[in-house]
Structure 1
Amino acid sequence: MLTQTAPDYTNRLIHEKSPYLLQHAHNPVDWFPWGKEALEKAQREEKMIFVSIGYATCHWCHVMEKESFENTMIAALLNGNFICIKVDREERPDLDRIYMEALQSLQQSGGWPLNMFLTPQGKPFSGGTYFPLENKYGRSSFPHVLQNIIKYWETEKSEIYSTADKITEYIRQKSNVTAEPDTQVDPSCELNTFDSLAEAFDEKHGGFLLQEQNKFPSNLCLQFLLRYYHQTGEPKALEMVEKTLREMLAGGIYDQIGGGISRYSTDQKWLIPHFEKMLYDNALLVWSLVELFQITGEELYQQAAEDILNYLERDMLSPEGHFYSAEDADTEGVEGKYYVWSKQEIMANLGPELGRIACKFWGVSNEGNFENGLNVLHQSLPLDELALQEKCSLEEIQKKLTQIRQRLWRVRLERERPLCDDKVLTSWNALAISAFARASRVFYRPRYEKIAIKAAEFLFSNLFDESDRLLRRYRKGQAKIPAFLNDYSQLAVACLDLYEATYELKWFRRATELMDQVNHLFQQEKGPYFDTGSDTEELLIHSSDGYDGVVPSGNSMAAIAFLKLDAYGCDGGHLENAQRILVSFEKHLKQIGLNFSAMLCAYHMQQSPSQQVIIMGLRGEEDTEELLAISRTRFYPNMVTVFVDKEHLEEVAALIPIVRGKSLVNDRGTAYLCINQSCQKPIHLAFELEDQLAASIDL
C-alpha cells in the first residue's frame, strides 16, 4: 500500500480558503496572508515587504511559482530579507488596485503575477510582474532583482523611503476624484467614444486594436455601442458589435466543443486563446448577446447565449446553486492541453465521414495551428459552404455538427480537467445572476430563472454576517472579507434584473436595501463613492474608481442602480446620487470614454428619456402575456417594467411609487407607458404599447 509523504514545507497559507493562496501553502517561502500579523512584524523588525499578487488560474503565476517560489535558494533570499505576503487579487481587488497603480507609476506595464517591494510601512518603491529564474524575455532574473533590492536597502535606505513617499503621494492624488460645483458631463463624450472605437475597430476580424498583440472581448464597449445605435441609428455601431461577436464565436477564443469564452486571444484573429475561462467574461458576453438578439432577432445570438449559459450551468454551477469563479488555462502544467486536438485524434474518434467534416469546419490539419502539431478548433468555413461541399442541406450539416460536437465532448471528458477555482465572489455571481435572469426574461426559459433565483438565494443566505454586512468571498463554509462597492451595486442590479424576470417584490426590496447600504458605507461628501467601506481597514489610499476594465466598476453599477430606482419613482435622492458619480468622472468620460464604457451606459440612461411600463392583469391570460412580451423581448435600455397582479395592487404600490394611482381598466390586461414618470392613457393591445414605445425613443 502506497503511503502519502508529508510535504517538505508548510506555511501559514495552509489555513486560508483561497485556492490561489493554498497553491502556495507548501512553498519553502515563508508566506503570510495579508493582515496585521505580517504588517506588524515588518514594522517591528524593520524588514522590507515582498507582496506577490495573483490568482488561481493565472498561467504566469504558475510559472513563477514553479521556477522561483518552489526554489529553496530563492526562498532563503526572500525569507532572510523580507516579510513575504501572498494576495489573491480576486479576493482583494482593493490591494491589487493600489499596487498596480504603483507599478504603473514606475512606467511599467501591469499584469500578473504582480510582485511589489514595499517599505515596512507598506509603501511601494519598486516592483514588476513575472520575473524569470534566469535572464530571458528581456527581463532580469528574479535572483538578480532580489540581490539588487537587498543591496539597495542596505546602502540607500533613505532614498528608498523618499521614493516610496513620492509614489504613495502620486497614487493618492490620482485616486482623489471629486465632483466640482456646477460641473456637467459634456454630451459629446458618447460621440467621442464612438469615434475612438470606430478608429480602433478591426475591420477584418472584429474587435478593437487596443493592444499590440492580445485582443480582449470588450463586452462593455459592445454594450455601449448598442445603446449608441439605439439612440442615433448609426449603422456602424451595430456593424461593429455584430462583426465582433460573430468573429469571436467562430474563433478559437470560443470553446467550439464545450461552449464558453476564454479570457483573451493572444493574436488579433481570435485564433489562439489564453485558455482560462472566467465567470465574468462569460456572463458579460451573455449580456451582449441577449441585447443583440433583442435588436436583431437573429437566432444565432440566442443560440450562442444559450450555449454559454449551458456551459455555465454544466461546469461552473455548484450543487448548492452558486457559481465558481474560473477554470485554469493549464492541465498537468501544460497550457491549453485540455482543449487542443491532433488531426489523428479527431479522425480516430469520428471516423472518415464525420472526421472529414470536423476537420474542414474547424480548420484541423496535420501541421496544426498550435504547439506540437496540435489544433485549436475554430470555424474556418461558413456553414453554407460546408453544406455545399458535402452535398447536403444546411439542416443536415447542422445535425452532423451537433453529433460531432457531442462525440468530441464525450472524448474530452476522459481527459484531466483544468483546475476549477471554486471560490464564490459576490460581484461575479451577481453578473451571472443577471445573465441568467435576462436570458430567462427574453428567451422565456423558466430553467434559467430558477438558476438565477437559487444563486441569489445562496448569496443572501451565506454572504451576510451577523450585522447584515455583505461579504466578498465564500468557500467551504466560510464567508469572509467585507464586500466592496462593486459587490453591493452589482448585486443590487442583479436583484432588479430578477425582479423584472419574476416580478417578485422581494427582489425589488433587496435592491433598495443594498443601495441604502451603499449610501451608508461608501458615500463621500463630494464626488463618487469609495470602493471600500467606512468600516474596513485603513489602506494607503481610499480610492473611488470609475474605470471599467473587464468588469464594470462599482461606481458605474451604482449609477445604473440609482437611475433604475429613480425611474421606478423611489425616494431617497437616487437621481442626485447617480449624477454626482457621473459628473465626478466628467473628464474621464470625455477624454477616455472607452475605458469607462459601463459608466457611459449609465450616462446614456441618465440623458435619455426614461420609460416606465406598468402592466396590470393576471399572468397566463393572453392579453396580459402579449403586453409583457413587448416589454421583455425588445431592446429598450432605458426602460423599467412593473407587473401588478390585480390582487396585489396595494402591496406593489407601497413599494414602487410609479404604480400609485394606476388601476386595471375594464378588468382586462392594462398597460401604462410613462415617460420620465409622466404617464400616457392606459391601453390594452400589444401593438399599441409597441407603437407608444417606438414613438418615445424619438422624444
Structure 2
Amino acid sequence: MPGFKTILLQLSTAYKSKKHEIEAASGEFMGALAQTARDIASGTAEKASLERSILDEAAMGLLQMGDPIYGGFGQAPKFPNPSNLMFLLRYYDISGMNRFKDFVAFTADKMAAGGIHDQLGGGFARYATDQKWLIPHFEKMLYDNALLAQLYSELYQITKADKYLQITRKTLDFVIREMTHPEGGFYSAQDADSEGEEGKFYIWQKKEIASILSDQVATDIFCEHYGVTEGGNFEGHNILNVRVPLSNVGLKYGKTPEQAAQIVADASAKLFAAREKRIRPGRDEKILTSWNGLMISGFAKGYGITGDAKYLHTAKNTVDFVENKIAADDGRLLRTFKDGHSKLNAYLDDYAFYVGGLLDLFAVDSKQTYLEKAMKYTDFMLVHFWDEKEGNLFFTSDDHEKLIVRTKSFYDLAIPSGNSAAASNLLRLYHYTQNNDYLDRAVKIMKAGARPAAENPFGFGQMLNAIYLYVKKPVEVTVIVDESSKKMAEWLNQQFLPDGINAAVSADELPSLQKYAYFKGREGKAGTAFVCRNFACSLPLKSQQELERQLLTPS
C-alpha cells in the first residue's frame, strides 16, 4: 500500500495534468452526493452490514480526495470539513496507519498558518476563497469554531504538540471574548464586513504595523514571519498568514527561536489592542440551540486537554442558559433565543447536538443531571422525530407546523447531520444505560448510511464516526475523583480515546449514578479507576500507572 508521501505526489501530478477534468467532475460528484443523501432518507439506499470494511473503503476514498499541496479537500472555495478530518483520526486509531493522522495534521497546520485563522485574535473564518487557505470569507461562524476546537483538541491528544493546545485555547478564548451573551449562551456569527468593506477589521498595511510597534527589529521580525509586504496580498493590504517559521526568522535577525517568538507575541498583543479600537464587524446575535450544543462539546473537550476551569465553567453555564432561557416548560427544546425571547420548535439538529454536548460534558464532569437531561431529550426525540417505517429521524417533529414535505437530514458537511449525531449519541447512551432500544435505533440509522458513506465519504464524516464507535467496540473508563485525586482524570482527558465511554465522577455523586448499568459495581474511594471492555471489567485500579497500563498496553 503506498505511503502518505507517495499518495500526495500522485495526487499533485494528477491535479496539475488534469485540472479541468477534476474540477468538472467535482460538480457531478456533489450532485451525486446530494442524491445519495435523498436515497438514504427515502429508504431506497442499500442497507449495509456494519463492518470494518466500511471504514476501510471510506478512509481510502477520503484520503484520495485530499489536496496534497495545501491540505483539506477540493480546490476553491475551501471549507475546513472537520467531521471528515476527525473521521480520519479515528481511522488512524483503528488501523494504526500514520498517513491518515499525518494528512489531518498537515491540513490543520496549513489552516492554522493561513488567513482563514485569525492570527491575532483566534478563531477561524467560515472558508477560504482560495486553495491555499490565505484569503478568507471573513465571516466567523460559531459552528466552525466549535468543531475546529474539537479537532485541534484531538490532535493535541494524539501528538502532545503544544501548537495544537494553543490553537484550541485561542479559538475558545475568541468565543468567550466575542461571541458570548452576558448571561451565557453563544451568538451565531460575526459578519465579514465592517464600514461597508469585507475584511477591513482584519487587514493591515505595513506602514501601519511599523507605526504601532515603533521598533524596527520587532517590525521586521513580525512582518517576515507573517508575510507582510508593502504591496500586500489582499487589495493593497495584508492578511496575516505564517510565511516564515520563527526559527528561520530568528536566525536571520540574530535571535533564538524563543526570543523571536517572544518578540512576535509582544508585537501581536500591541496590534491586537490597536485592532480593538477599530469599528467592529456586525454580529448575528441569534442563539441557536444546535450550535450551542456543538460549542458545549468544544468547551468540554478544551477543558479536558487544558484542565482550565474557565472552559468547564463556560460549558456548564451554557447548559444552564439553554435550560433556563431556551427549553420550554413542557420538556421540549425550542430552536432560538434573541432579545430575551425564545421561539420556534426545535429541529432534529437542536436535540442531537445539544445531547452530544451534554454527553461530552458528562464525560469530563459526571454530574447526574447531564446524563438525565441527555436521556430526557433523546427520549423526546425518539417519540417525536422517529420514522418507524424507514428507521431514521425526520428533521422536524410530528407536531411541527405542517410542511409540504417532511424532510430528513443525512448530509455531513460544514455541520454534521442530525441523524449522524443522533446515532453517536444513542451508542453512548446505550453504554451508560444498557437500554437496548438506544442501540437498536442507532444501528438502524447507521445501516441506512453505511454503504453510501463508504462510497461517498466526503459527505458522511460524522456518520462514519458513529460507525467507527460501533465497530471498534467502546472501552468504558471510570475514574472516581475528588480535589486531591484529580491527576488520574486529568491524564485520562488528555488521551486520544475516541472509542472511550468515559466518566469522571466524584465519590459523593457515584451512589446516585449507580442506578445506571454503566456504574453498577464500580465502587471505591477517590483515586480509583475501572476499565471495562466487552462487558468485562478490570479490578479497581489504584494509580495512574495502573490505568495507563490497562489503556495503553496492546490487548
* Same fold, TM-score > 0.5, yes or no: yes
Which residue, 185, 190, 207 being the options, matches 2:72? 207
Matched, 1:658 2:523: no
Deviation at 1:174, TM superposition (A): 4.6
Matched, 1:362 2:223: no
Structure 1's 611 and 466: CA in aligned 2 closer, same or farther, altered over 3 A? same
My pick for the range that moved more, 189-198 or 322-331, is 189-198
How far apart, CA to CA, are the structure 2 residues paired with 1:609 and 1:305? 28
Structure 1's 260 and 649: CA in aligned 2 closer, same or farther, altered over 3 A? closer
Structure 1's 261 and 181: CA in aligned 2 closer, same or farther, altered over 3 A? closer
Matched, 1:690 2:552: no
Matched, 1:178 2:43: yes
After TM superposition, the structure 1 = structure 2 runs for residues 510-529 of structure 1, keeping only pairs within 5 Å, are: 510-525=373-388, 526-529=390-393
Q: Are 1:286 and 1:435, in contact at CA under 8 Å, matched by a contact in 2? A: yes
| Aligned residue type for 1:527 | G
Q: Which residue of 1 aligns with 2:331?
A: 468
Which residue, 351, 374, 388 being the options, matches 2:237? 374
Q: Which residue of 1 aligns with 2:539?
A: 681
Which residue, 481, 500, 507 being the options, matches 1:639? 500
Deviation at 1:649, TM superposition (A): 3.6
Structure 1's 319 and 174: CA in aligned 2 closer, same or farther, altered over 3 A? same
How far apart, CA to CA, are the structure 2 residues paired with 1:107 and 1:208? 16
Q: Which residue of 2 aligns with 1:451?
A: 314
Q: Which residue of 1 aligns with 2:125?
A: 262
Q: Which residue of 1 aligns with 2:418?
A: 554
Matched, 1:535 2:399: yes
Matched, 1:223 2:86: yes
> Higher Cα Rg: structure 1 or 2?
1
Matched, 1:423 2:423: no
Matched, 1:292 2:150: no
My pick for the range that moved more, 524-533 or 681-690, is 681-690
Which residue, 439, 443, 446 being the options, matches 1:579? 443
Q: Are 1:668 and 1:684, in contact at CA under 8 Å, matched by a contact in 2? A: no
After TM superposition, the structure 1 = structure 2 runs for residues 79-98 of structure 1, keeping only pairs within 5 Å, are: none
How far apart, CA to CA, are the structure 1 residues paired with 2:414 and 2:274? 32
| Aligned residue type for 1:689 | L
How far apart, CA to CA, are the structure 1 residues paired with 2:172 and 2:283? 17
| Aligned residue type for 2:536 | S
My pick for the range that moved more, 360-369 or 678-687, is 678-687
How far apart, CA to CA, are the structure 1 residues paired with 2:365 and 2:66? 38
Q: Secondary structure at the match of 1:615?
A: strand
Q: How many residue pairs are counted as aligned between the two chains?
A: 524
After TM superposition, the structure 1 = structure 2 runs for residues 333-372 of structure 1, keeping only pairs within 5 Å, are: 333-351=196-214, 352-371=216-235
Give the structure-2-normalised TM-score: 0.90
Q: Which residue of 1 aligns with 2:20?
A: none
Q: Secondary structure at the match of 1:573?
A: helix
Structure 1's 341 and 668: CA in aligned 2 closer, same or farther, altered over 3 A? closer
Deviation at 1:273, TM superposition (A): 0.8
Q: Which residue of 1 aligns with 2:3?
A: none
Q: Are 1:179 and 1:580, in contact at CA under 8 Å, matched by a contact in 2? A: no
Q: Secondary structure at the match of 1:613?
A: strand
How far apart, CA to CA, are the structure 1 residues paired with 2:30 and 2:68? 27
How far apart, CA to CA, are the structure 2 residues paired with 1:581 and 1:171? 15
How far apart, CA to CA, are the structure 2 residues paired with 1:531 and 1:591? 24
Q: Which has the higher contact order (CA 8 A, sep 6+)?
A: 2
Matched, 1:197 2:58: no
Q: Secondary structure at the match of 1:585?
A: helix
Q: Which residue of 1 aligns with 2:11?
A: none
Give the structure-1-normalised TM-score: 0.72
Deviation at 1:629, TM superposition (A): 3.0
Which residue, 465, 470, 473 being the options, matches 1:601? 465
Structure 1's 685 and 173: CA in aligned 2 closer, same or farther, altered over 3 A? closer
| Aligned residue type for 2:68 | E
Q: Are 1:569 and 1:677, in contact at CA under 8 Å, matched by a contact in 2? A: no
Q: Are 2:364 and 2:502, in contact at CA under 8 Å, matched by a contact in 1? A: no
How far apart, CA to CA, are the structure 1 residues paired with 2:529 and 2:309? 24
Q: Are 2:165 and 2:305, in contact at CA under 8 Å, matched by a contact in 1? A: no
How far apart, CA to CA, are the structure 2 residues paired with 1:194 and 1:630? 29
Deviation at 1:556, TM superposition (A): 0.9
Structure 1's 464 and 287: CA in aligned 2 closer, same or farther, altered over 3 A? same
Deviation at 1:428, TM superposition (A): 0.6
How far apart, CA to CA, are the structure 2 residues paired with 1:171 and 1:668? 50
| Aligned residue type for 1:242 | A
Structure 1's 392 and 660: CA in aligned 2 closer, same or farther, altered over 3 A? same
Query: Unpaired runs of 5+ in structure 2?
Result: 1-26
How far apart, CA to CA, are the structure 2 residues paired with 1:565 and 1:276? 35
Deviation at 1:189, TM superposition (A): 2.5
| Aligned residue type for 1:545 | S
How far apart, CA to CA, are the structure 1 residues paired with 2:91 and 2:443? 20
Q: Are 1:523 and 1:530, in contact at CA under 8 Å, matched by a contact in 2? A: yes
Deviation at 1:468, TM superposition (A): 2.2
Q: Secondary structure at the match of 2:477?
A: strand
Q: Which residue of 1 aligns with 2:170?
A: 307
Q: Secondary structure at the match of 2:131?
A: coil
Q: Are 1:175 and 1:542, in contact at CA under 8 Å, matched by a contact in 2? A: no
Q: Deviations for 1:83-120, whole angstroms, at most 9, x for unmatched residues?
A: xxxxxxxxxxxxxxxxxxxxxxx99999xxxxxxxxxx
Structure 1's 672 and 628: CA in aligned 2 closer, same or farther, altered over 3 A? same
Q: Deviations for 1:132-158, whole angstroms, at most 9, x for unmatched residues?
A: xxxxxxxxxxxxxxxxxxxxxxxxxxx
Q: Deviations for 1:387-430, whole angstroms, at most 9, x for unmatched residues?
A: 11121122211111111111111111221111110110011111
Query: Unpaired runs of 5+ in structure 1?
Result: 1-105, 111-169
Q: Are 1:175 and 1:545, in contact at CA under 8 Å, matched by a contact in 2? A: no
Which residue, 31, 35, 53 being the options, matches 1:188? 53
After TM superposition, the structure 1 = structure 2 runs for residues 125-136 of structure 1, keeping only pairs within 5 Å, are: none
Seq. identity, %: 34
How far apart, CA to CA, are the structure 2 residues paired with 1:496 and 1:323? 19
How far apart, CA to CA, are the structure 2 residues paired with 1:285 and 1:108? 25
